[in-house]
């Protein structure tokens, strides 16, 4: 059974929403006006860390729970795009993080997982663009309840067996003395393909700039896999020098020979990218 989801934002979510609204009002009015003529389907809306960090606790919220902070910001940003009649779907990209987040790809270890860091990196190779099911939508034929399940990239899709609302109603009926034959069938639901949400992704191999010995790309060099999404897909080429802001994650070993293999490798879940080595030591 899926956990119950509150219909109203929590006090912390309300605070974040209010902070994001005042942030966009104070810092981004000119940006909205400049975007009036764009026709892209997805737009990376760039925000400077220096501005975000000092605005009503948004910097602390970003570093402590980035996904929740960005989810609140996206809600407000989509509202602003709608108010300004901007057609693209916006994606928040924060740039210009401080030296405190600086790290080297070659120094990454498992103890660094979940950290949000900033890297100088060279593109070694890229995969073909692909998509993945980020949010799966379902509809119940019994009670007409609709809900969404959030999936994980490169993991098995959640196996659902019952409608959460039918199950809740069944428990209430039994508690009230009802009979089992009066219960709705909680298995009578299906995926709503039209409401499924897919995201563009691409895998990109990066290596540390210290491995560069000449203008040619080294053939045998330690690399790390980075995951790009949305407007970043198909934008970068081998040999390109970048500053990558990303969360360090872990993934299965690609060559694992049995399902329960406990070995893992590190990967970078990319939040934003800046061209050039903005922090690279010569």
Q: DSSP labels for 130-148?
A: EEEEEEEEEEETTT--EEE
pLDDT tens-digit map of 98-131? 988 999 999 999 999 999 999 999 999 999 999 9
Looking at the predicted structure, is the pLDDT value of residue 174 above 90? no
Q: Distance between CA atoms of 27 and 47, rounded to whole angstroms?
A: 9
Where in the sequence of the chain do the CATH 3.30.1640.10 domains occur?
11-95
| Over residues 24-44, mean pLDDT | 89
User: Could you tell me which residues are beta bridge partners of residue 270?
Assistant: 246
CA 142 to chain centroid: 33
**Best CATH choice for the domain 133-197 from the list 2.20.28.10, 3.40.109.10, 3.40.50.1110, 3.30.9.100:** 2.20.28.10
Superfamily of domain 11-95: mini-chromosome maintenance (MCM) complex, chain A, domain 1 (3.30.1640.10)
Query: In the 8-state DSSP scheme, what is residue 108?
Result: -
Where in the sequence of the chain do the CATH 2.20.28.10 domains occur?
133-197
Looking at the predicted structure, is the pLDDT value of residue 39 above 90? no
Query: In the 8-state DSSP scheme, what is residue 232?
Result: G
Please tell me the predicted confidence (pLDDT) of residue 233. Answer: 96
Please tell me the predicted confidence (pLDDT) of residue 255. Answer: 76
**Global confidence as pTM:** 0.84
Please tell me the predicted confidence (pLDDT) of residue 182. Answer: 79
Please tell me the predicted confidence (pLDDT) of residue 191. Answer: 94
Mean pLDDT for the chain?
89
Please tell me the predicted confidence (pLDDT) of residue 213. Answer: 67
Do 247 and 90 form a contact (C-beta atoms < 8 A)?
no
Looking at the predicted structure, is the pLDDT value of residue 221 above 90? no
Q: Distance between CA atoms of 30 and 49, rounded to whole angstroms?
A: 18
* 99-131+199-275 CATH fold: OB fold (Dihydrolipoamide Acetyltransferase, E2P) (2.40.50)
| Over residues 183-188, mean pLDDT | 88
pLDDT tens-digit map of 233-244? 999 999 999 999
Of 187, 175, 98, which is closest to residue 138 (Cα–Cα)?
187
Q: Distance between CA atoms of 270 and 279, rounded to whole angstroms?
A: 17
Query: In the 8-state DSSP scheme, what is residue 157?
Result: P
């Amino acid at each position: 059974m899926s956990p119950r989801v509150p219909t109203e934002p929590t006090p912390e979510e309300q605070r974040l929403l209010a902070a994001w609204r005042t942030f966009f009002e104070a810092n981004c009015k000119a940006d909205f006006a400049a975007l009036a003529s764009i026709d892209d389907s997805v737009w990376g809306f760039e925000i400077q860390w220096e501005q975000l960090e000092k605005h009503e606790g948004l910097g602390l919220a970003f570093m402590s729970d980035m996904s929740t902070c960005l989810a609140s910001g996206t809600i407000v940003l989509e509202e602003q795009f709608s108010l300004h009649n901007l057609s693209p779907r916006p994606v928040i990209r924060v740039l210009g993080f401080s030296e405190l987040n600086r790290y080297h790809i070659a120094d990454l270890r498992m103890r660094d997982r979940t950290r949000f860091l900033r890297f100088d990196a060279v593109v070694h190779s890229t995969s073909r663009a692909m998509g993945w099911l980020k949010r799966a939508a379902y509809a119940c034929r019994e009670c007409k309840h609709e809900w969404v399940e959030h999936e994980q990239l490169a993991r098995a899709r959640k196996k659902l067996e019952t409608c959460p609302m039918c199950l809740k109603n069944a428990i209430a009926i039994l508690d009230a003395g009802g009979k089992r034959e009066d219960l709705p069938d909680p298995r009578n639901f299906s995926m709503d393909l039209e409401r499924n949400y897919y995201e563009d992704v691409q895998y990109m191999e990066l290596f540390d700039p210290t491995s560069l010995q000449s203008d040619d790309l080294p053939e045998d060099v330690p690399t790390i896999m980075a995951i790009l999404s949305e407007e970043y897909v198909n934008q970068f080429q081998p040999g390109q020098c970048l500053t990558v802001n990303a969360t360090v994650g872990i993934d299965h070993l690609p060559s694992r020979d049995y399902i329960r293999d406990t070995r893992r490798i590190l990967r970078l879940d990319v939040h934003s990218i800046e061209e050039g080595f903005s922090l690279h030591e010569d």
